[in-house]
Structure 1
Amino acid sequence: MTDLNEYKKRIEAVLYTVGRFLTVEELAKMCNLGSIGIVKDCINELKKDYESRDTSLEIIDNERAYKLNIKKNYLYLTTQLLEDTELDKSTQETLALIAYKQPVLQAEIVKMRSNVVYDHIGKLKELEFVTSEKAGRTRLLKVTSKFYEYFDVVHNELKSKMEDIKTEENKSLSPSFNSEEDKNEN
């Protein structure tokens, strides 16, 4: 009979390989474990193991789904590696714009960023971060579920986080009218 340590190793291997959130049911199926209870026990044990070893990895959960992830204070190391290998800064900016404005017409993105976005969009579609569908003489662009999983973003929170960034940016860029009023009063 296989022991709990063997089950933990299976679950850890699957979480590492898949790199996205998996439900308990998905883990049970992928690891050939019939009991959801055993999967939950293994996840809890793995979480404790990672905490006690004080590693750069952790198991995070999101509404009954689990993912092996890099701790936030070590993300800067891997983010730089990913930027160098997969998406250059300009392509990342195009992706961010699509994510913020989605669903958005390709023609609108081209107007904002120039013809170079055609190459960006091609790469983003190839990496399956963006989908496009015919919309008249242009295409309608949206980010995919892979985008949300890869960048560890919750779908419903994306717009509000970007709005917060925009608000902060506007505050820092707008001139201080109060200082002018103060000068006129004196």
Structure 2
Amino acid sequence: MELTSESQEEVDNAEEIKNLKKVEAALFISGRFLSLQELVALTEINPLLLRELIEKLTDKYDDSCAIEVLQKEDRWKMDVKQEYRNMVNKLATGTAEFTKAEQETLAIIAYKQPVKQSVIIKIRGNKAYDHVKNFIEMGLVRGKKIGHTKELSLSDEFYDYFTVGKGERERQETGRDTGEETVGAVERREVVESAEEKQEIEGRKDPVEAVAETIEQEDKSMLENNNP
């Protein structure tokens, strides 16, 4: 039985909707930028059709949606629009993705980079070995071998993963303040500023030690508040 032109159109539309959902699901669940090759492997859709579907998906998430499809060179991901990211970052703080200890270790690496792993271990203790190993395995941190230790710095995946704004990234990479600061950056700055204030009071030469003591005091304070 031959399909009429109207029936064939219905079949084609159903197939397109199915493929569009595949692409949408892949971009939504990845949490990072996916290349065309990765999307082809995941969805089994040919590259030319895949590009058309991504364009349609981008149009679907228009100004009336809080979600958008972001493109960086030949890679794509879905994310919350810029105007809602501060709210989402606040909601995400303290999730099970990273423990509080891991968040603090990563914050210090982000602020001090490039920094030797031995310095991080001195600040955070031996538990930080596992933290650093986890960050490197996730691709968030680069570890360059230097003598008996490693030099740690943030990778491109870190900025993609946390959707760090352009201004904050430039500030971290160049030390230049562009006026744009993420919620995470504010939290890191507040911890370090508190440590630097402590350094001024006590006349320390290295603010890293003050950072460590500030974090430890915050942990003790939290424990005391939770156990009156």
Q: TM-score, normalised by structure 2?
A: 0.57
Alpha carbons of structure 1 residues 77 and 125: separation in structure 2 relative to 1, 3 Å = farther
**Whole-Å separation in 2 of the counterparts to 1:31 and 1:74:** 29
Unaligned segments of structure 1, at least 5 residues: 170-186
Corresponding residue of 2:16: 4
Give yes or no for the alignment of 1:136 onto 2:143: no
Corresponding residue of 1:63: 73
Q: What value does the CA root-mean-square deviation take over the aligned residues?
A: 3.4
Which residue, out of 115, 119, 124, partners 2:127?
119
The alpha-carbon deviation at position 27 of structure 1 amounts to 1.4
The alpha-carbon deviation at position 83 of structure 1 amounts to 2.0
Contact 1:19 1:68 in 2 (8 A): yes
**Whole-Å separation in 1 of the counterparts to 2:178 and 2:150:** 26
User: Match of 1:51, SS?
Assistant: coil
Unaligned segments of structure 2, at least 5 residues: 1-10, 181-188, 190-228
The alpha-carbon deviation at position 106 of structure 1 amounts to 2.0
Aligned residue pair count: 162
Give yes or no for the alignment of 1:149 onto 2:173: no
Describe the superposition over 1:65-123 as per-residue Cα deviations: whole angstroms up to 9, x where unpaired.
Answer: 11011112222333123321134667545424423544421233456xx3x25434533
Which residue, out of 80, 84, 94, partners 1:84?
94
Corresponding residue of 1:21: 33
User: Match of 1:20, SS?
Assistant: coil
Q: Which has the higher contact order (CA 8 A, sep 6+)?
A: 1
Counterpart of 1:82 in structure 2: which amino acid? A
Percent pairwise identity:
31
